[in-house]
Amino acid sequence: MHINKLNTISIFKLIWDSLSKKRKSYVYLTILFTLFNGLAEIISLGLVVPFLAALSNPDDFFYNPTINTISGVFGINTPVKLALSLSILFALASLLSGSIKLITLWLNYRVSALIGKDISSQCFAKTIRQPYSKQITKNTSKILSAITNEITSTVVVINQILLFINASISIFGVLLIIILVDWKIAFSVGFLISLFYSLIMLLTKSRLKINSKLVTLTTEKQVKLIQESFGSIRDLILNNYQNIFIDKFDNNEEILRIKRADNLFLSTFPRFSMEAFSLIVMAFVSYGIILDKGEINSSVPLLGAIALGAQRLLPSIQLLFSAWANIKGYKSSLYKVGRLLNQTINEFPINNLVKRRFNKYIQVKSVDFNYFPNEGNILHQINISIKKGEKVGLIGETGSGKSTLIDLIMGLLSPTKGQIIVDEIDIYNKNKYEDLISWRNNIAHVPQSIYLSDTTIKENIAFGESIEKIDMNKLIDATKLCQIHEFIYDLPLKYNTVVGERGVRLSGGQIQRIGIARAIYKKADVLILDEATSALDSKTEEILMNGIYNLDTSPTLIMIAHSIKTLINCDSIYELKNGKIIRKFSGLEIDNIKQ
Ligand SMILES: Nc1ncnc2c1ncn2[C@@H]1O[C@H](COP(=O)(O)OP(=O)(O)OP(=O)(O)O)[C@@H](O)[C@H]1O
Ligand SMILES: [Mg+2]
């Protein structure tokens, strides 16, 4: 489901729709327990009146005709026995009500946590399944803070909603009893309390909202700041900029902590004023009752019921208010999560993909491309044809569109105009998504900047494969070809050496060679190298390139390089300038360059 304009209700609907059947049944169970809880509340409170009446005036109570008949049925024949039985009954009811409360509370937390887990995974999945063209416009700090912080806040909101339902039912039960006992008191107390809280809600609403916005915004800023400071730590140290970053961090942290604390305060503070307020009301009400009845003894049951009712009512009302305040206070987080959940998935998973090998040719046909429609074309009328097994080079000045062109060929970015045909199939045919997936599967790519994970060399090369499944012979063949096997073999932990975050423990050339080894290990039909040897010395580059040209799998090769020398063993070389192919070198011309 996709919603055009999000509001709080539609976000809850999105969350609800994203829950599995099982999860929904947990929610129903929680609500069922909440109802039991309300019922237990009514029963335990309803028992107070007879219980106190029996204690304060045992004889009168025992000889009341109805009570006497009922007692008779249970074989209770003295006022003392009746008081004892009622005490036991009251204790049992309280115990039961307490247990139900406990279970309901546990269910509330557990169910909201599970819902949180579900939506968190969904947000991650929906974000990661967005097409590449969307991914490159995304801001990672925003996603990071949304998937970590905002989800946590959303779990708080969900929990608060369940507590809200719980509190409403309890309040309803307690009010019902008080109304039955004395409707005038019930209504006047109810009115006063509602007035009190409505006033506070009115006063705190906008502050909660502003704080909520500030908190989410600053969280994003903070994540960004941390990412950027460690991403450019060299420059930070060189320029002695640490203090600037520390100050910014400190400022953000101040806003974050203070605004969070403000919202917490706003959600709890009425409790204390309410306690004082209710004591005053209680004093007057008690006085009124005693005045009305003329003496204390017969007022005890009523007073007790109201006191106990108030003791039950107040926390529930406070809960209701703080739930409201929390929902308001986390609204921005809720919206961020809502936006992530509201993403449509274009890149859906395909389970039984029929793998199709690459057999004949790749044809780039009159392709135009732009990243943003209003910014003009990056590629103009590109026509290239690549036969299976052919070795094609791409050169051109920086920014001419080489990397973009291979992103199009690889099935990551769809052409604005024109087609990319692989073995007679238009890979971007919208109705045949599996063709695109199957084509991507045939490609191994070494990007311009290689991202190594902070794991072992072995796992980095066999990227995505589980450690037991790694074929070490195949892996060593790849590293030998990439001129990196000896280096790895000399390390104390050899292939189990951990490379550090982004491969910090390796040199630029070592990272590149591991990147190429990863592509070769994949044994794909098409091998694409985007300036993959730029960090290597010319001797190492030559040996490595010869290895690639002579691979026994003879993959189709597309190579980008800045120097035509790197490409002289290619069958054809295209030169790009400002997004256009301005020249094609083929056999003889390349031979001429060689000499
Ligand atoms: N994600 C993007 N969003 C918007 N514009 C982009 C994006 N990536 C690249 N460009 C633009 O597209 C043009 C071509 O970029 P591309 O990376 O394809 O060049 P290149 O030939 O690979 O350059 P280099 O040799 O420096 O790697 C550039 O002008 C660049 O500004
Ligand atoms: Mg490039």
Sequence ranges of the chain with CATH classification 3.40.50.300: 361-594
Nearest alpha carbon, ligand 1 atom 16: 401
What are the CA-CA distances from residue 163 to residues 94, 168, 452, 461 (Å)? 20, 8, 45, 50
Ligand closest to 370 (CA) is 1
| Residue 225 DSSP label | H
Short-list 585, 502, 584, 483, CA closest to 541: 483
Work out the average pLDDT over 572-585: 89
**CA angle at residue 551 from 545 to 553, to 5 degrees?**
145
Over the stretch 230-267, which tens digit does the pLDDT of each residue have?
888 888 898 888 899 999 999 999 999 999 999 889 88
Tokens of 126: 């929906």
Residue 397 CA, closest ligand 1 atom number = 25
List, for residues 311-332, the tens digit of each pLDDT value: 778 888 888 888 888 888 888 8
Contact assessment for residue 319 and residue 163, using Cβ atoms and an 8 Å cutoff:
yes
Q: Which of 130, 377, 400, 446 to mutate to test the pocket of ligand 1 (most atoms within 8 A of CB)?
A: 400
Topology of 361-594 in CATH? Answer: Rossmann fold (3.40.50)
Q: Which residues contact 304 (CB under 8 A, 6 or more apart)?
A: 48, 49, 52
Q: How far apart are the CA of 531 and the centre of ligand 2, in A? A: 8
Give the pLDDT of residue 1. 62
| pLDDT > 90? residue 410 | yes
Cα dihedral 214, 217, 222, 228 sign = negative
Residue 300 has pLDDT above 80, yes or no: no
Distance from C-alpha of 243 to C-alpha of 246, rounded to nearest angstrom:
5
Q: Where does CATH 1.20.1560.10 sit in the chain?
A: 8-341
Q: ∠308-313-319 over CA atoms, to 5°?
A: 140
Cβ burial 36-62 (10 Å sphere, 16+ → b, else e): bbbebbbbbbbbbbbbbbbbbbbeebb
Average pLDDT over residues 190-212: 88
Give the model's confidence band at 530: pLDDT under 50 very low, under 70 low, under 90 confident, else very high: very high
Measured in degrees and rounded to the nearest 5, phi and psi for residue 278 equal -70, -30
- Is the CB of residue 465 less than 8 Å from the CB of residue 381? no
Strands 556-560 and 391-396: parallel
Which atom from ligand 1 is nearest to the alpha carbon of 400? 21
Say whether pLDDT at 71 is over 90.
no
* Tokens describing residue 285: 């009400």
* Per-residue pLDDT tens over the stretch 460-515: 998 888 888 888 898 998 898 888 888 888 889 888 888 888 878 888 888 999 99
Measured CA distances, 374 to 130, 371, 477, 518 (Å):
22, 9, 48, 38
Q: Give the pLDDT confidence score for residue 183 in this predicted structure.
A: 82
What is the per-residue DSSP string for 137-168? Answer: T--HHHHHHIIIIIHHHHHHHHHHHHHHHHHH
Tell me which residue of 39, 32, 54 sits closest to 96, measured CA to CA: 39
Taking only the tens place, the pLDDT of each residue in 531-574 is 888 888 888 888 888 888 888 888 899 999 888 888 888 889 99
Beta strands in 328-438 (DSSP E): 361-369, 379-387, 391-396, 417-422, 425-426
Residue whose pair of structure tokens reads 């109304």 in the numeric block: 179
CA of 508 to the centre of ligand 1 (A): 22
Distance 399 CA to ligand 1 centre (A): 5
Question: Given its phi and psi angles, is residue 558 left (phi above 0), alpha (psi -120 to 50 degrees) or beta?
Answer: beta
- Please state, in angstroms and rounded to a whole number, the distance separating the CA atoms of residues 491 and 463: 20
Ligand 1 atom nearest residue 576's Cα: 21
**Ligand 1: distance of its center to the CA of 579 in Å?**
10
Domain 8-341 annotated CATH 2.40.50.140: no
585 SS3 class:
strand
pLDDT, tens digit (0-9, with 9 covering 90-100), for 84-125: 887 888 888 888 888 988 998 899 889 989 998 998 998 999
**Residue of the CA atom closest to atom 24 of ligand 1:** 398
Distance 152 CA to ligand 1 centre (A): 37
pLDDT at 56 (0 to 100): 74
Cα angle vertex 339, ends 109, 144, to 5°? 75
In DSSP notation, 273-294 reads: HHHHHHHHHHHHHHHHHHHHHS
Select from 344, 320, 339, 322 the least CA-distant residue to 216: 339
CB 446 within 8 Å of CB 516: yes
Q: Is the CB of 371 under 6 A from ligand 1?
A: yes
Pick 262 or 62 by higher pLDDT.
262
Kindly list the distances between the CA atom of residue 20 and the CA atoms of 15, 16, 118, 337, 457, in Å, as whole numbers in the listed order: 10, 9, 8, 18, 39
Higher per-residue pLDDT: 452 or 56: 452
Confirm or reject: Cβ of 399 under 6 Å from ligand 1: yes
Contacts of 53 (CB under 8 A, 6+ apart): 61, 300, 301
Whether 188 lines ligand 1, by a CB cut-off of 6 Å, is no
Q: Looking at residues 39-52, what average pLDDT do you find?
A: 78
DSSP string, 230-273: HHTHHHHHHTT-HHHHHHHHHHHHHHHHHHHHHHHHHHHTHHHH
Q: Is the distance from the beta carbon of residue 402 to the nearest atom of ligand 1 less than 6 Å?
A: yes
